[in-house]
Amino acid sequence: MFSGKITGLQFGSIVTRLLSGVMVGMILVFLLPLVLPFVDDAMQYSYLRSAVIVERSITAAVKHGIPTKFAGVDMSRWIIILIAFVTSSWLSGISTRLHDRAEYMGFKQNIDDWRKKLNLSDKAVVLSPLSQKLEQLKTARRKDREELLKEFADIKKKLDETGRDLAFLAIDVVDSTGMKNGEERAIVEHDFREYKRFVDSTLNSHGALKSAWTPDGVMSAFKSVDAAVRAAREVINGLDLFNRNVKSMRKDFSVRCGVNSGFVYFDDSTPLEEISDRVIDIAGHMQKNARPNTVCIAKPTIEPLSERNGFEPSGRMVDGYEVYEWSKA
């Protein structure tokens, strides 16, 4: 996205730096005549003669363009040196700003490429530390930039170390609103509390790393696709006993399950609901696409699954992936 702009800024920085160097060279040329009287046979050197010719030519042009005598004293040499010094400093400042801007845009592009590669959203919590350091780079003084860049690299390294392959299971109660219609509030609260306890127990027994609940749905992270699928199957199979012996509402509980896996940045200290990633989003989309008491999974995710029995192509596509479905016999 920014490659063309970055190249232009880098080129501009180099050009202005070179022009600043030309101004420094001009200062040396105009200081040179002051030391020539102390050099024996100085004019026998061709490069010194050339420097003197350049100095005289520029001096003549300046005298023709602006007043250079003050109180009868010719100040042309010092005027030119002052102008060259100011111009050199100005060009050097522009070069630094262009370089810093190119550096900032380079890091921004690096973050954007990294985000796209890992299917992270723009507002992913994991990007916040990097984004904060990036914004600080915009206004940081030169002496602070090295420290900020070091911190940026350290954060990036730390985030790289938190990335891992995980599986995500999304479970939602089918028509939960309809189930509650006409039921006493106390019964509804009791049944859904017991349902949540039953699901949490099942998820934890299969090694769920962390879970995030909406009112009637849950998203859980697992170390493997096998663990996520086993948990989904056990929830569906266990609903028979739950509906028969635990719930009191007239309608039975049924669920839809979706599974997906991929490489995500997973910080143990961050609640699952604050982790934004396309891998997690697809698990939710698989769940919404599922039929009651089935498990839907993307074709690439089913490939590492060791227990594929019961999964069949559904003929449906979700987020560009062919969906495989397991249904209770």
Nearest CA to 249 out of 195, 184, 200, 197 is that of: 184
In a domain, 133, yes or no: no
Same domain, 296 and 183: yes
In a domain, 85, yes or no: yes
Answer yes or no: is pLDDT of 38 > 90.
no
Q: Are strands 294-298 and 255-265 parallel, antiparallel or unpaired?
A: parallel
Q: Categorize the per-residue pLDDT at 101 as very low, low, confident or very high, splitting at 50, 70 and 90.
A: confident
In a domain, 158, yes or no: no
Q: Categorize the per-residue pLDDT at 237 as very low, low, confident or very high, splitting at 50, 70 and 90.
A: very high
Residue 242 has a pLDDT of 96
Residue 97 has a pLDDT of 87
Same domain, 103 and 178: no
Residue 54 has a pLDDT of 84
What's the longest Cα–Cα distance across the chain? Answer: 114
Same domain, 112 and 174: no
In a domain, 100, yes or no: yes
Neighbour count for residue 235 (Cβ, 10 Å): 25
Residue 127 has a pLDDT of 64
Residue type, 226: D
What confidence tens digit (pLDDT) does each residue in 288-324 have? 999 999 999 998 888 777 677 789 999 999 999 999 9
Same domain, 106 and 169: no
Which range (55-64, 153-162, 320-329) has the least confidence?
153-162
Residue 194 has a pLDDT of 96
Most confident of 73-87, 159-173, 242-256: 242-256
Q: Looking at the chain, which runs of residues are DSSP E strands?
A: 69-70, 73-74, 163-173, 210-213, 217-222, 255-265, 294-298, 311-318, 321-327
In a domain, 271, yes or no: yes
Segment 69-94 shows an average pLDDT of 89
Q: Which residues pair with 165 in a beta bridge?
A: 263
Instruction: Outline where 36-67 has alpha helix (H).
Output: 46-65
Q: Dihedral angle at the C-alpha atoms of 161, 163, 165, 166, nearest 10 degrees? A: 120
Residue 88 has a pLDDT of 93
Q: Which residues contact 20 (CB under 8 A, 6 or more apart)?
A: 87, 88, 89, 91, 92, 95
Same domain, 17 and 94: yes
Q: Are strands 255-265 and 311-318 parallel, antiparallel or unpaired?
A: unpaired
Same domain, 35 and 182: no
CATH code: domain of residue 256: 3.30.70.1230
Q: Which of 87, 102, 117 is the last residue of a domain?
A: 117
Segment 35-61 shows an average pLDDT of 80
Starting from the edge strand earliest in sequence, which strands make up the sheet with 311-318, in order?
A: 210-213, 217-222, 163-173, 255-265, 294-298, 321-327, 311-318
Same domain, 179 and 304: yes
Same domain, 101 and 197: no
Same domain, 173 and 282: yes
d(CA 56, CA 50): 10
What confidence tens digit (pLDDT) does each residue in 183-220 have? 999 999 999 999 999 999 999 999 999 999 988 899 99
- Mean per-residue pLDDT of the chain: 85
Q: Categorize the per-residue pLDDT at 33 as very low, low, confident or very high, splitting at 50, 70 and 90.
A: confident
Tokens found for residue 207: 């090694």
In a domain, 144, yes or no: no
Q: Which residues contact 150 (CB under 8 A, 6 or more apart)?
A: none
Q: Which of 117, 148, 174 is the last residue of a domain?
A: 117
In a domain, 52, yes or no: yes
Cα Rg, the chain, nearest whole Å: 35
Same domain, 215 and 269: yes
Residue 165 has a pLDDT of 85
Which range (45-59, 201-215, 219-233) has the least confidence?
45-59
Q: Which of 117, 150, 182 is the last residue of a domain?
A: 117
Same domain, 260 and 201: yes
Same domain, 186 and 299: yes
Q: Categorize the per-residue pLDDT at 144 as very low, low, confident or very high, splitting at 50, 70 and 90.
A: low
Q: Which domain holds residue 74?
A: 3-117
In a domain, 194, yes or no: yes
Report which of residues 49 and 226 the model is more confident about: 226
d(CA 22, CA 15): 11
Answer yes or no: is pLDDT of 40 > 90.
no
Residue 218 has a pLDDT of 96
Q: What is the total count of domains within the chain? A: 2
d(CA 28, CA 261): 66
